[in-house]
Amino acid sequence: MRQGIRSIRSARRAGPLWLALAASLASGCASAANQNGGFYVDPDSNPAIWVRDHGGDARAAKIRGSIAGKPMARWFGNWSGAIGGAVSRYVEAARSADKLPILVAYNIPGRDCGSHSGGGAGSPEAYRTWISSFASGIGNSRAVVVIEPDALAQLDCLSAEQRAVRVGLLQYAAREFKQRAPNALVYHDGGNASWIGADDMARRLQSAGVAEIRGFALNVSNYHTSADSNRYGAAVAASLKSQFGYAKPFVVDTSRNGNGSNGEWCNPAGRKLGVASQNATGGAEMLLWVKVPGDSDGPCGIAPNTPAGTFSPDIAVRLIEGR
């Protein structure tokens, strides 16, 4: 746990939240932050903005209490403007509140294989500049960062040349966060429990430089139960150990996994909020709302006219009620 020990040493001048969290992570038990109080609540999340703008809507109170007032990730991409400043302002707001922010870097070229969330940086060179500025925006601040959801699991949609470029960019990102954001807990995305086999995902994570960062994230924007994700995460960690001589911890996205998966991924009906962001004991070291609950996956499923990343109060209420 050398990385955790370094985090404790560098956190001695930090607030009490991070000292407790770093100590618990380094000892292998992430139990310091309470269920909702330890992580930063984004005052400008899509659900929070909708609630502010629709105070008279009958759904607003329910969404405020069950979603907008909970800690979740903020996603940064090509919509974020000057990325270094955007990230810096966000982590500084969290630091001022003595809370731990959750951030997602989502700008890899060829993002989402050109599907509903397609886009990303226009070139490898542009991405390297962007991700370096992202990491520099965190600097010595404390943060949780998930790097590029789906980027490794979706390698199969790329040509051999494109795969090599993407893996190289993910390696670069891992090195940049290690050097420029030494106090951040950084995780490569590792897909979900039903996507890529554990041995294959371990090889992909290794190739992307997971050895340089904290670990890997699972179930981002998906629905698998925490139990299923924990089993898969343990298998990936064991495969990293057997193939490459080291294991890594993992985190699980619980934003929409309260009813588990029905095998569909794009705005399926019958899903439910999972437990709010919190530290965990056994299996995942943190359970996090990485996907913003209520944000559409694309114009599909129960939201056929709602673009990806757009908040839908109807989706939100259905997640609250589990229908």
Identified catalytic residue from 112, 228, 253, 295:
112
Cα 303 to Cα 248, 264, 323, distances in angstroms: 37, 14, 13
The whole-angstrom distance between residue 144's C-alpha and the CA centroid of its chain comes to: 8
Identified catalytic residue from 44, 57, 150, 295:
150
**Annotation says 42 is catalytic:** no
Cα 205 to Cα 165, 189, 271, distances in angstroms: 15, 8, 29
Identified catalytic residue from 42, 228, 297, 314:
297
**Annotation says 150 is catalytic:** yes
DSSP 52-110: HHTTTSTTHHHHIIIIITS---EEESTTSSSHHHHHHHHHHHHHHTT-B-EEEE---TT
Q: Residue 231 burial by CB count (10 A; 0-12/13-18/19+): exposed, middle or buried?
A: middle
Cα 137 to Cα 75, 76, 88, 165, 262, distances in angstroms: 14, 12, 4, 24, 39
Give the residue from 211, 174, 184 showing the smallest Cα distance to 102: 184
Active site residues: 112, 150, 297
